[in-house]
Structure formats: structure tokens, C-alpha cells
Amino acid sequence: MKRALPPRLRAALATMLLAAGTGMLVSVPDASAATGNATGYATQNGGTTGGAGGQTVRATTGTAIHQALCGRASTSTPITIEVTGTVNHANTKKVSGAGCDTADGVIELKKVTNVTLVGVGSGAVFDHVGIHIRESKNIIVQNVTVRNVKKSGSPTSNGGDAIGIERNVRNVWIDHTTLEASGGEPEGFDGLFDLKDNTQYVTLSYSVLRNSGRGGLVGNSESDRSNGYITYHHNRYENIDSRAPLLRGGIAHLYNNHYVRLNDSGINSRAGARAKVDNNYFEDSKDVLGTFYTDQAGYWQVGGNIFDNVTWSAPGSENRPAGPDPKSNTTVAIPYSHALDAASCVPSVVSRTAGANKGLQVSDGRC
């Protein structure tokens, strides 16, 4: 059984490693780490446990995160990387090794399995640096803020996506994150949470997505329909122009989310996508559900939602809003257990639980 190191020895170890310029601290047994279990579709297909059972290290720079990945015995050796402080371009460099495939200016979780990346201490901020998950499996990202990731202008990272997931990815849980931009495509930003090219079994929970032209997408084009089994729950979308999210093909389950100021459109189910939309609260928004900007229809099953000061545009050849009185046009069977909060409670529940640095609080079923 491991025994906790005395405080003085812990401090000395931290000082030695940080002074050596690694930016990384091998954590001690009483260090904080990811808590709770995956929810939603991330529980399927064998489940999502991230780096459980492996070594825990602490990183204060992007380079140190890459060093932790590269220092593993293999690309599948479990690891939990605790992050504190601000990660930026100046401290995020490519590192080489057996357990990684990294690059400058972006956090690369590429061709890896069994990894947890979790913010601890006073918080972890990825400033203008995106998180890229590609050709990977069993990944957890928890309790971090990712802000102002740009695809044009300077500096650029991750194609302008705060978190981008692509190409043959399975089982990802993104939880208690804050993803934010400072505008839309004209200002150099793209999506906050994008999934494409055969990405499946993903959950986004208890997160805040705000101040962006694009909330996120599932599928990069009308023909990219290999993605699906995505759950979005207890998230707050605020001041988003569109894509909250955009769904192309596949199945998505969206429940107990709070949508505030969706300026042009919200849940855009198209190209054969099927969305189960339960007990959400839509507020001060426009066209919060439907098929928009395409003639390739998508579908939805609705129940228990509240539409508070929501406006709807007239139907057209490329715009098929679900409202003003949304009705189901498909059915979606959900394979996992979940408890629904009443839609009337969603604003208060999400306000106290969603986002980074909220103590990883979750709903207790009460308003």
C-alpha cells in the first residue's frame, strides 16, 4: 500500500522537478484527480475510464503534457495528467517518444488510449491553444478552460476549434469544461466542440460553451455520416450564433441543457441525423431546433422542453424549423440509464454545476 509523502518532501520534490524546467510533477497519493464516472453514450462500447489505474503526473505547461504522454512505455499505458496554470503557445512544444505523436502549439492526444487530462488546483486554462483528439480511444478531459482558439490571425491552433475530435475515435468523455471564443469566423474562430470522421461514443457534460459563432458540429459535410452516439447533458450554450450543435447523420441525445441567446439557429439536425431532445430549457433564442441551411432533412424526438421567448422563422426549402409547436418525427431508443431534471429546474441546476472550477458538482435532482 502506498503511503503519502510528508509535506516537506512533497514540496522539495516539486521544487526540484520544476526548477529542472520540466514543468511536470510526479504527483503524490493524496493529489486530486478526476472524479465521478462517465455518463451518456461514453458509458457504452466498453465504457470510458481514461487513465484510471495508471500513473498520475502534474503538468504546468503544454510541453509538460506532451512529455507525460511521450514518457509512457507505450501509447496505451494508462496515465492521468493533472494540469494547473496557463498553457499557451510559448510553453507548448512538440515532444517525441514511444507514447505520443505531438506538435507545437496544440495539445495532441493523437493515436493514444487510456488518458485523463484534468485541471486541478486554482485551475487550468488553455489560452489560444486547442485540444486535438485524433485516432484515439478512452479519453477523459475534465475541469479545464479552453479559450480563444483561432484558425486565422495569430496565433493559430487546432483549426480554430477549442476541442476537435476526429478520425476513428471511440469513447471520449468531456466534462466540466468551459469552452469560449470572442466572436465568429470573421474574427478567426471556428467551432468550440467539433466531432468528425468516424467519431463515436462521446459525452459532453456539465460544460459551458459561449460567445462563439459556432457551438460545434458532428460530421464535417453532408456525406460525413459515420459519427454518432453522442450525449450532451447539463451544458450551458450562451451567445452562440449557430451549431448548438449541428448534427449530420448518427444519433444524439440532448437533455437538461440550458440554451441562452442562440442568435440564428440551435440544434440543427440534418442529413439523416436523429436527435432525442429531452427536458431542455431554451431562452431568448431563435430557431432552436430543426433542419437549417440544407435540403437534406434530419429528425427529432422531443419531450419535456421549455421554450421561453423563442422565435421561429417561416419554413422554406432549406429551413425547416421544428416550431412554433415542436412535434416528434422519429423515435430514438436510449441504451443507458439517466435521470432527467425537470426542465423548469435546468437554469438553476446548470448555473451551479456547469463549467470548469465548479468543484465537479453534478445535479442532485433538486432545483
Centroid of chain to Cα 40: 13
Other Cβ atoms closer than 10 A to 317: 7
Task: Name the 3-class secondary structure at 90.
Answer: helix
Catalytic hit among 72, 214, 236, 243:
243
Q: Is 243 a catalytic residue?
A: yes
- Which amino acid does the sequence have at 312? W
What distance in Å separates the CA atoms of residue 32 and residue 340, rounded to the nearest whole number?
Answer: 29
Closest CA to 308 of 347, 275, 342: 347
Asked if residues 211 and 217 have their Cβ atoms less than 8 Å apart, the reply is no
CB proximity list for 48: less than 8 A, separation 6 or greater: 38, 42, 138, 139, 140, 171, 172, 173, 201, 203
H/E element, 108 = strand 107-110
Q: Are strands 24-26 and 55-59 parallel, antiparallel or unpaired?
A: antiparallel
CB count in 10 Å sphere of residue 37: 12
b/e per residue 146-156 (b: at least 16 CB within 10 A): bbbbbbeeeeb
Active-site annotation, residues:
243
